[in-house]
C-alpha cells in the first residue's frame, strides 16, 4: 500500500491567517502520524494578486511555525 500524502495549498495573494496556520499544522501532524508525506503546493494561478513577496512570507511563516 502506498504512503498517504497530505497537502497544504495556499494562494500567495496575502499573508497567512490563523485558519491557514491551523490547516498546515494539522495536515503536517496527520502526515507524521500516518507515516505519510506533507506536500506544500503554492496555488499561484491568480497572476494579478499572487506575488513573490507573499510566497516568501508564507514560507517564512511556515518555517516560524516549525
Query: In the numeric block, which cell numbers belong to residue 39?
Result: 506536500
pLDDT for 1:
73
Interatomic CA distance for residues 38 and 45, integer angstroms: 21
pTM above 0.95, yes or no: no
pLDDT band at 66 (very low <50, low <70, confident <90, very high): confident
Q: For 25-46, what is each residue's pLDDT tens digit?
A: 999 999 999 999 999 999 999 9
What the chain holds in terms of domains, given with CATH numbers, is: 5-65 (3.40.50.620)
Report pLDDT digits (tens) over 8-24: 999 999 999 999 999 99
pLDDT more than 90, % of the chain: 92
Amino acid at each position: 500500500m502506498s504512503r498517504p500524502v497530505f497537502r497544504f495549498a495556499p494562494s500567495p495573494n496575502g499573508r497567512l491567517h490563523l485558519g491557514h496556520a491551523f490547516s498546515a499544522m494539522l495536515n503536517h501532524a496527520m502526515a507524521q502520524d500516518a507515516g505519510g508525506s506533507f506536500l506544500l503546493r503554492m496555488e499561484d494561478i491568480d497572476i494579478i494578486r499572487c506575488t513573490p513577496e507573499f510566497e516568501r512570507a508564507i514560507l517564512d511563516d511556515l518555517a516560524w511555525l516549525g
